[in-house]
Structure formats: structure tokens, C-alpha cells
Structure 1
């Protein structure tokens, strides 16, 4: 019923771009880009949230003064349906305003991470959020104690409870995993302590390790921090790429035991929490929040392994396009096809408008209006958060979009992705009450990646040359490799290390390297001679911060699979398919994610969506090979 502290991470991050873990190189370039004067059109206007920071300050103080206001209902939730409704409505009002002040503060902070004022604003809200969590920790245990029969009787007798019904039933569903009020309060106060492993890992990786500097073949001094690695791993000269990998992964290997200890700490805490809450396993615990069946995760991994030959075909095609006989892991990042095409922000918007004709006039007109309002912070500037996201927690206002636009196609694709999120939020908020507007990452990433694919299809259809077609096809191919296959590989590793601890086995850095190495070799066709995987890159697990987000990355893979399915439907199904898809966007969070998708005709527990994206990858490779054969012939 309450907004748990762990939700803060979701609200702060909002979402990643479709290239997910591959996008670090773009972020590194954005951070180093020169600052240019820009029109205020490309800087968001936060006065729609609060006219001044003083108004924000006043609202925060008001909320702080009301942090214990719901305690008046403690012990009384079962008195009557009207009492329960008053309590839940009061909670909704408070949470809605809390999310609004959070949205304002976090987005001010993210435009200049070094500014002490923004840091202080966010810090105040983090403390307030934890206080609210502790103050309302009585609610879930008390509702569970009322039991299903009484709750259902209340819902039937009081129409006002309809908008709360899903949340009430969800609390009952998780009832056997809800602990005593005292224990729930203690766990809510442990949020910061349980983040210690991740914090230690981040400090080690980003602040304390002395990263190497190497000289590339053109004389460039490459300082191989995490950002430096992302910038130089696609160096044109193959010997430079090998040198970058040798130096960078060698330094991670030096700290294998320490990184192993931090990730083991995270896994041990996860397993202990899942056990304390009486889940069968840790995977079930982390999927339970959105009521995602384990079958989704395990079917995703199974289908991917059953069709791993498609990924191996991709690597063979990559070797052909790069003219490399002995493909290595250091050859996975150079662009397959380069282009001198540019995508300024205004032109990007035009392309987006043209591409979404397939969505119908309602969607197109809403985007046309929203995209010229000041909802975006477009260009890089000193101290600005890297990457891109959509921030849509403020129900009564509008979404915000942070970009670091570079006038390249990756930036255009990111624009489509984040507007996919924003339009999902617009349609949800127009059609759902606040209580049913909090859609899942599981569904909204589908909405975002679908817009990327729709833009790709539009650009491909309007390409003016075979070289331009080859560029868009190559981009699409690499997106599927990075967003589907690579994320499933990470997901398989994440499941394996948790199951290792669940079996009572030791989980050291060396053991993680062994587990990751086996999976890495299988995915990249090491035994089949497709790509040579050496011990050097088997330490890559230590580089991936998402393993501390706990069964999060699989959603990148499910999302691109679902997006591929829906785009195919939009292209072939006519008006019915379009209305079906729009209904999916308007549903927001009015049901569990898997059920919302089933209503839209997509069963994520079946192999269908995963085969759809793999089939799409095969089709793209067919087109690329046809172009290459024609050129070679």
C-alpha cells in the first residue's frame, strides 16, 4: 500500500535508453561535449510544478509536518468501509504531493549534480521518504490481518474503494510475506544499510581505483576509467582495442576479490530478505512486486538458449563486415556501419511525427503539442546527469524528459524512446486515477522501445541509398544484440549467483568469474569457433552496476521482445491492432503487467514474444547480407 523506499531508485532513475548498458560511450561523449548557448525552448520549465523554489520549500515543510498524519488510522482500518476509504484517500493525497516535490527537486539536481543546493533538496526528500515509510509501516500488516472476506465486503459496499481495490487485493496476495508491524518497521529502517554493498562497489569502481593510462597507436593518451573505457573500446585500430581490453580488464582483475565481496554482500542480503519473507527463492521475491510469474524469466532464458545460433550468426556477420578472421571480444563495439548523417533536435521531432502516423491521429496530435512545450532539457551542460530519462511521477502536472542530444542517430533513437515513455504517461494519466497510474517498468519499456523500432522502420523506408539502409539495419541489429541477447546473458548470470547462495555454496569473486565465463563463452560461440573468449574479459561481471538493481535487466529483453511483437501487429493489423495498442497504453497500472499485456493479445509467459524479436533479428541479417552480396557481386 505504501511507496516503499526501494521505489526511490526507480523514481530517480526513471528509465534507461534502449541501448541500456551499451550506452555508456554516448554518455561519456556527452559529458565531454562543448557547451553551446541554446534557446529556452530546449530547457524545461519547472514553474508548472512550483512557481518558485520558495513555494516548493513551503510544500516540503507542510508535508514534513503531516508525516505522522496517517497514524490516526492505526488500529482502525477495519472499523468500516468508510474509515478504510478515508485512510486510503488521505494516503493517496499525501503520496501524490510527495511525488510532485520529489520530481521538482530531483530534476533540478540532475541538471547540475555538483550543485550543493540540488543535493540538499534531494537529501531532504530522501529523509522525508524514509520517515513516511516508517510512519505508515502499520498499514500492510493491519490490512492483512483483516483478511480477504472483510476486505472484499468493504470493496463491495463502498464504491469509492474501487480505485483502491487492486492495491488492497495485492496486499492480501502478498499477505503471507508481510511480517509483524514491528518487523516491517525495522526492515523499512534498514533501507540505507542494505544499500551498503552497492555504495561500496560504486566508490571502489568510480573513485578509489587508480585506473591505467595507455598510449594508442595514434599517440592518444587513453585514461581508462569506466568512462574512458566506454570511449576507447571501439577504437578503429584493432591493436588499440586489444590494448584497451588488456589494461582495463586487468585492473578489474586486480580487485576481483573485493568486487566479489561487494556483490556477494548484495546477493546474501537478497537471499536473506527473501527467506525472511517466506518466498520459495530470491527470483520469486523480486518478481512478486509486479506479480510476474517465474515462467516469464525462465521462458526468456530458455528460448534465448534454444536459438543461440542466431546470435552466433550475428557474430559471423560482424566478422564479415569488419573483415576480421579471428573475432575476439574486443571486436564487439566498433560500429558496423558509419554515417555522416546528422539529426538535430528539430529534425528529429519531424522524423518522429512522420513515423507515428501508424499510431493514428489521437496519438500524433498529442505528441505534436506536447513536444513543443517545455518538457525537455535537451543539451549537455557542465554537471548535468549523463544519459537520458523520462520523469513522470508528478501525476497532476506532466512528464519531464532529460536528454544529452548529440545530433547523431543514437540521440534521435533516444528521443523516440523517452517520448515513448512520456506519451505512455500522458495517456495513462488521462485515463486512470492516480491510484492506478503507476505503471510498471515491465510495460513502459515496451512502449518506449516500440517507438524506437517505429522510427527505425520509418528511416529505413525513406533511406536514399543502400549505404543509408545499411546504416539503419546495422543499428537495429546491434540494438537487438545489446538489448535482447546481452541482457538475457546478464539475467542468466544474476540468477546463477543467487541460486549458488541458495544452495549454500560459497560465492567469491573467483567463483563469479568462473560462472560468468561459462555463460559468456556459450553466448559468444567460443566452443564453436565463432568468437574467442579469453580469461581477460571473464571479469566483466564486476563492471556491471545493474547487478545491484536485483533482477532488473531481464526487463530490457522482455521489453524489446514485446515491442517487436506490437510493432509487427501495428504494421499488419490495421485499425483494430492500433486501438488494441492504444488501450494498452491507456491501461497504465490498472492491473498486473502480465495481465495488461494479455488483454492486449501478448502472453509474456509464452515463447511467442521472444521468438518475435529473434525472428526480427534474422530478417534484418537477411537484408544486410543481401546488400553485402550485391556489393561483393
Structure 2
């Protein structure tokens, strides 16, 4: 029914799937585990199950408004308040199951609870599918009058007006019901992909140069693609991608079916393209997406310069795609969790006391699950969908600088959530990914600059520069390459061209070559490795990944403004965080001086990237490399 509900549900259902890798059985004995306190949500498992069962009953009650929803301001306010209350309770119920399950993915009971929680969301969508069409039928004049008549509708006003704005894309009651019921079918490709890639592909065994035999599944590929021995890296690439190549046709059919489902939905809702439909939920102009792709393509010389810099540090005569992952600089230093807290606070001083007090509040609470343990979900995330409770942060902290950066990143999300909740009612606190990732990437940039402001050895300075440059390669250029691939395959399908696994490999190979300078002699791209598209789960999330690249661009622009002494930048940034979902994200950022349809944010990112490379080259010359 409401835009903000879509943000909240999307975040709930996607948070761990997007940001975390498959769990690994990581053994650890020290330090002692630091756990979050889930009793802040429910005191006992019995309380959780009782609430889940009650929700199923209460959701059914929402059906009584069908056919009557807009007969008066009072009825609309009653229904809106009741729906908000149920949404809030359902979110709380879901995250309890999700967080508990992520502590040990081997626990079948935990995964069953998560499945039960998801079924509540499914029922909520089915029961309330009539609401949007009925409100659309009432028209803007009637709804605006109702907002004036009943003050209870004021907190729902933004979302009601957003619904009216999308009137031409909302179907009739019967058609909306059909689309709601088709949701499980349309999500079939994601389930098939997940099953095939996690349970059905027989992974090869690889013997490394030291005699170690490795079962080269996805998590082991992630580990061994970064080894320092170049022959081992090539062997890992060759074996891993040869295995994926065997499934090119099947995975091509799976992704093609997903693309067709996006086209079906966009046409059903009368959007010009699948891209327009995908970005409409948060009212982001498709021009943002295209401006990002354009900016990345125009600045590929900087990407190629960075790759040549990596080659120089590695001391290689040539560069191949399997050389992209090993660390080229090392930092023989570890950081305790307390040091991570102190470094994060020190680096975020430009945000001011209000922000830092929120950090202190979070650090003092039992809000984190910190260290790796057997069965725990790997990766990191922040879960903030429990409106009446504090956010929760999952980490797998291993004491390296990258762990400190991840710590700062996730607490950027957490403070964003705290500020949004403090300044908005439930109906408008939840924000889309478009602004969410900006709140975390800005922290990463400031942490890097905080470290670079210190009196460091050449080796340590080069390490932090390399980490910053690598984040631009991975988050700006690589994610934009993904975005360009996703756009191209949708455009091909919309133009009536047939898609297949081999066609997707062809498209992806062209992009790999372009982004990595194959034709310019920067990096050699082996055609076998172009099957990589089949490995990327993000392509099953409907034009999602571009937001990582826009966020690091906007975050860099904010950080550069703050570090240059622009006092207005601090206020602009905090106002974005406090606004939550009460404004459209693109318009909100534009008002704060970050227009992502213009070249300015991307220019700021590339300028910083080039400045860092200038310094790296001076250091390398001084080091005799």
C-alpha cells in the first residue's frame, strides 16, 4: 500500500542475501564472542511464536476494509494506522528470526523460523493487495480532502501522495491481486539460481603448488583467487570458471526468465522500460543510472591507470584478470575492537557531536555480534527494521584494517537508522538503498583520510592509498560494469532479441575488455572468464547494484566538501540522514548539493582517485619501484 512499507520489506528480505557471503565454518577461540541481545525484541522463543500466530490473525482483519477503504477520512485513517501497526510488528517478528538464524546457519530450526516469518509477509501482501487500487480509484482530490479532515492521516500523507503520483502504474483490484499472487512464480528464477549454485554444482578439486588440495566451491574460490602465487591464481581461475562454463546454457535460461519477468511486470504496470519500473519505487530518475554508466565510461583511463599501478607494485611484466584480487600491499598491524571504535569516532568528527553521541550510545549497548564462529553467516550487515528498538550489527571481525573499515561502514548504517527513527514516525523513517549506502561509504572515505593524515611510513601510507583505490575499482567501476551488463541484457530482450547463456557471455566479455583495457594492452582478458556473469547473485535483484556506485560517488563528494572546510556540507549530510524516507532520495540529495544526474559527484570521485594515484607514484619512486 505504501512506499515506505516497500522500502522496509525490501530491506528486511534482502539485507543478508545481498551483503553476506555463504557461511563458512570458521574456528575461533579468542577473543570471547561478543553477542547481541535479542531479548530486546522478544524475551523468549515462545513470545515470538505467539506474536507470529497473532499476526496471522490480525492480518486477516485487514480484509474488512475491502470495498470501504476510502468511504471516509475516518475509515482511511483507521485502516492506515492498523496497517502501519501490523507492518511494524511484522518487521520486528521477522528480524528476530533472521538475526537468530544468522548466528548459526547449520541450525535447521532457525531456518524453519525464518521461513515461517517470510510466510507472514507473503500473507500480508496478499490480504492488502486491494488497498492501492481502491485508493487510486478515490483520486487525489478526495484523498487530499481526507488528509485535511483527519489529522491521523498527516503521518501517512507523503506515502499517500506517492501512491497517487504512481496512479497510472497501479492496476485495478483484480489485476493487483493477480500480480500479488504471481509474486512467488515471478521469484522462481532467484530460487532456482540459489539452489543450483549452492547445492547442485559439483565443485572441482584443485591441488595448489604447496600440495594442498582444495574443494573449489564459491567460498574457497573467494579465498584462493587472492593467493600470492600467480600460477595458483591462474589454476583457480581456470578450474572455477571451467566449471561454471558447463552451466552456461542453464544459467542463461534462468537469468533470461528473470529478465522476462521484469519486462512482464514493467509492461503490466505501463512503464516504458524495465529500468524505469525498477527505479520508480524510490522515484529515482532513470537518468541517474545512465549518468553513472556514462561517467564510468568517460573515466576508464583512470581505471586503467590504477590497473597499471597495481602491475607496477606487483612487479609483473603483464597483467591478467586473475591478477585483480591479491593484495599488493600489506599492513603488519592488527586493531582491537576498542581501537576500531576509537578510530571510527576520530575519523567521523566532521559530523559533529550529535552524530558522535549516537555512536557512543550504540557502542555502549549489546547491539553487535562481533567475531566469526562455526556456522555463522559471513560478511557484515546492519539490521534496523525494528522501529521501536535499536539497530543490530553483524560483523566477522578479524582485526585487520579492512575489518575496521567494515566496522565503520556498518555503524554508518546504524547511526543513519537511529537519526531517521528519531526524526520521523514509523511511516516515513525507512530509507531506500539509494541513500543507505551513501551513509556508510562516506564513513569509509573519512576513515581512509583520517589514517592518511597521520605521520606514516611509506609502506603504511601506500597500504591505505591502495585500499582507497581498490574500493573505487570494486565499488565504482566494477559495480557500474555490472549495472551496464544488467541494462544491456534488458535492452536486448526489450528490443525483441533472444537471450542465451552464450549471448550473455559475449556481452559480458565485451564489458570486461572495455573496463579493464584489454584492447589498450592494460590487462589481458581470457574469454573463459567471461562466464563470471553467471556467478554474480546481484543480477537477481532487479537493477540493484548501481546504487553502490552512486553512493560511493555521493559519499566521496560529501567527504571532500567536509574535509575542505565546507561547513554547510556537515548540515547537508546530517539532514539527509535525518530525513529517512520522508522525501524522495534523489531530490533530497540534490537539495543537499549532490546531483547524481550531473557529472559533479563522479568528477569528485575521479579527482580523489587521481590525487591518490599521484601520491602513490611518488612513494613508489621513492621506494625504488
| TM-score category (smaller protein) | over 0.9
Q: Which residue of 2 aligns with 1:127?
A: 119
Q: In the alignment, is residue 14 of structure 1 matched against residue 6 of structure 2?
A: no
Q: Which residue of 1 aligns with 2:466?
A: 474
CA distance in 2, matches of 1:505, 1:8: 34
CA distance in 2, matches of 1:209, 1:413: 34
CA distance in 2, matches of 1:54, 1:16: 27
Counterpart of 2:48 (choices 44, 56, 61) is 56
Q: Which residue of 2 aligns with 1:320?
A: 312
CA contact (8 A) 1:321 1:336 kept: yes
CA contact (8 A) 1:5 1:130 kept: no
Q: In the alignment, is residue 338 of structure 1 matched against residue 330 of structure 2?
A: yes
- The offset of 1:158, in angstroms, is 2.9
- The offset of 1:4, in angstroms, is 7.0
Q: How does 1:164-313 map to 2 (within 5 A)?
A: 164-313=156-305
Structure 1 length normalisation: TM-score?
0.96
CA distance in 1, matches of 2:123, 2:56: 9
1:90–1:584 Cα change, 3 Å: same
Q: Deviations over 1:354-375 (max 9, x none)?
A: 1122211111122112112100
Q: In the alignment, is residue 364 of structure 1 matched against residue 317 of structure 2?
A: no
CA distance in 2, matches of 1:196, 1:5: 20
Q: Which residue of 1 aligns with 2:397?
A: 405
CA distance in 1, matches of 2:116, 2:227: 43
- The offset of 1:573, in angstroms, is 3.6
Tell me the SS of whatever aligns to 1:67: helix
Q: Which residue of 2 aligns with 1:34?
A: 27
- The offset of 1:599, in angstroms, is 2.1
CA distance in 2, matches of 1:124, 1:584: 35
CA distance in 1, matches of 2:131, 2:378: 38
Tell me the SS of whatever aligns to 2:623: helix
Tell me the SS of whatever aligns to 2:59: coil
CA contact (8 A) 1:517 1:535 kept: yes
Q: Which residue of 1 aligns with 2:64?
A: 72
CA contact (8 A) 1:212 1:223 kept: yes
Counterpart of 1:619 (choices 593, 602, 611) is 611
CA contact (8 A) 1:445 1:559 kept: yes
Q: Which residue of 2 aligns with 1:144?
A: 136
- The offset of 1:624, in angstroms, is 0.7
Tell me the SS of whatever aligns to 1:451: helix
Tell me the SS of whatever aligns to 1:14: helix
CA contact (8 A) 1:428 1:588 kept: yes
- The offset of 1:13, in angstroms, is 3.5
CA distance in 1, matches of 2:6, 2:564: 43
Q: Which residue of 1 aligns with 2:435?
A: 443
- The offset of 1:310, in angstroms, is 0.7
CA distance in 1, matches of 2:108, 2:199: 19
CA distance in 2, matches of 1:92, 1:73: 14
Contiguous gaps of at least 5 residues in structure 2: none
- The offset of 1:324, in angstroms, is 1.1
CA distance in 2, matches of 1:502, 1:519: 20
Counterpart of 2:406 (choices 411, 414, 433) is 414
Contiguous gaps of at least 5 residues in structure 1: none
CA distance in 2, matches of 1:624, 1:118: 48
CA contact (8 A) 1:130 1:189 kept: no
CA distance in 2, matches of 1:221, 1:514: 32
1:50–1:124 Cα change, 3 Å: same
Q: Deviations over 1:552-605 (max 9, x none)?
A: 000010010010011112112444321221111111111111011122121111
- The offset of 1:608, in angstroms, is 0.9
CA contact (8 A) 2:8 2:430 kept: no
- The offset of 1:38, in angstroms, is 5.1
CA contact (8 A) 2:469 2:609 kept: yes
Structure 2 length normalisation: TM-score?
0.97
Q: Deviations over 1:129-180 (max 9, x none)?
A: 1111111111000000011111122223333322111111111122111112
Q: Deviations over 1:383-404 (max 9, x none)?
A: 2111110000000011000111
CA contact (8 A) 2:204 2:240 kept: yes
CA contact (8 A) 1:5 1:133 kept: no
Counterpart of 1:162 (choices 137, 154, 178) is 154
Q: Which region of structure 1 is more displaced relative to structure 2, 265-274 or 418-427?
A: 265-274
Q: In the alignment, is residue 352 of structure 1 matched against residue 353 of structure 2?
A: no
CA contact (8 A) 2:170 2:176 kept: yes
Q: Deviations over 1:196-234 (max 9, x none)?
A: 212212222221111111211121212211111111111
Q: Deviations over 1:25-55 (max 9, x none)?
A: xx77xx3432226556x20011111122222
- The offset of 1:5, in angstroms, is 8.1
Counterpart of 1:548 (choices 535, 540, 543) is 540
- The offset of 1:616, in angstroms, is 1.4
CA distance in 2, matches of 1:15, 1:343: 25
CA contact (8 A) 1:16 1:389 kept: no
- The offset of 1:443, in angstroms, is 0.2
Q: How does 1:518-597 map to 2 (within 5 A)?
A: 518-597=510-589
1:78–1:147 Cα change, 3 Å: same
1:480–1:580 Cα change, 3 Å: same
- The offset of 1:98, in angstroms, is 0.9
CA contact (8 A) 2:293 2:484 kept: yes
Tell me the SS of whatever aligns to 2:11: helix
